């Protein structure tokens, strides 16, 4: 056993996916299934810590949230835990991850689950079998709507299906971009729709505490209408 592995076990307990109390970061005071073998940064408050201030500020201004690419529900649970957010839609086409999302919600206050709609679909530029558009999903949601988009390369298609919501200037957006071209394309589309955009750069200390980001360009973009400033 390496020294790193030994220290991790001493600090965080043995690996394995199981419910753990979260004491730092966005989900502080909540319970979530974490495997310290690959997600130990969630217990330390370091997982995607660069966007945490944006998430908090935008979520505080929203009444609804669409978690597009919800995975195991980390952000969905945070949104549902906020009293000002009335409805949350979690989009996750992978049945294994959706089951884990449901399980993570079951570990916490049942009022959070009451706000949640599970949507086992991809999100893109059209409505079709297994697919839907943001504009369709958000049609009856209370405004403003927070969009968290993490779709591994399909982020521009998601935005192309959100034209009506973007035109309302009632969207708050956090978009993970997976190439320079996609980042530039998202900025161009959102700027044309009247949104301020800010790239959230990876922290300098990631050289010491890296995240698993196997592609060369992978970071977040925050955007809001010009009447709202998401960053303090």
Domains of the chain, first to last: 48-225 (3.40.50.150)
CA atoms within 13 A of residue 135's CA, in its CB half-sphere: 14
pLDDT of 208 reads: 85
pLDDT of 2 reads: 59
Return d(Cα 208, Cα 200) in angstroms, integer: 18
Residue 1 contacts by C-beta under 8 Å, 6 or more apart in sequence? none
Q: Could you give the C-alpha distances from 78 to 26, 29, 32, 159, in angstroms and in order?
A: 7, 11, 11, 23
Buried b (16+ CB within 10 A) or exposed e, 126-155: eeeeebbbbeebbeebeebbbbbbbbeebb
pLDDT of 110 reads: 98
| Max CA pair span of the chain | 56
pLDDT tens per residue across span 125-171: 999 999 999 999 999 999 999 999 999 999 999 999 999 999 999 99
Per the CB < 8 A criterion, the answer to whether 146 and 172 are in contact is yes
Per the CB < 8 A criterion, the answer to whether 99 and 93 are in contact is no
Q: What angle do CA 213, 218, 222 make, to 5 degrees?
A: 130
Per-residue pLDDT tens digits of the chain, which is 232 residues long? 555 555 556 566 677 899 999 999 999 999 999 999 889 999 999 999 999 999 999 999 999 999 999 999 999 999 999 999 999 999 999 999 999 999 999 999 999 999 999 999 999 999 999 999 999 999 999 999 999 999 999 999 999 999 999 999 999 999 999 999 999 999 999 999 999 999 999 888 888 888 877 788 899 999 999 666 544 3
pLDDT of 100 reads: 97
């Amino acid at each position: 056993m390496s020294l790193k592995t030994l220290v991790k076990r001493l600090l965080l307990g043995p690996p394995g996916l199981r419910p753990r109390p979260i004491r730092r970061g966005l989900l502080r005071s909540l319970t979530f299934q974490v495997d310290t073998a690959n997600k130990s940064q969630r217990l330390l408050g370091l997982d995607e810590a660069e966007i945490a201030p944006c998430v908090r500020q935008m979520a505080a201004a929203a009444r609804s949230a669409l978690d597009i690419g919800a995975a195991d529900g980390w952000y969905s649970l945070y949104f549902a835990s906020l009293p000002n957010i009335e409805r949350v839609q979690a989009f996750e086409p992978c049945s294994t991850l959706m089951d884990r999302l449901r399980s993570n919600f079951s570990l916490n206050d049942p009022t959070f689950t009451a706000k949640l709609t599970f949507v086992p679909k991809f999100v893109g530029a059209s409505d079709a079998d297994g697919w839907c558009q943001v504009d369709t999903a958000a049609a009856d949601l209370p405004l403003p709507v927070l969009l968290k988009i993490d779709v591994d390369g399909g982020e521009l298609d998601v935005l192309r299906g959100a034209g009506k919501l973007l035109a309302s200037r009632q969207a708050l957006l956090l978009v993970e971009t997976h190439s320079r071209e996609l980042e530039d394309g998202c900025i161009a589309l959102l700027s044309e729709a009247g949104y301020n955009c800010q790239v959230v750069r990876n922290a300098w200390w990631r050289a010491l505490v890296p995240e698993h980001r196997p592609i060369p360009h992978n970071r977040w973009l925050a955007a809001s209408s010009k009447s709202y400033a998401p960053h303090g």
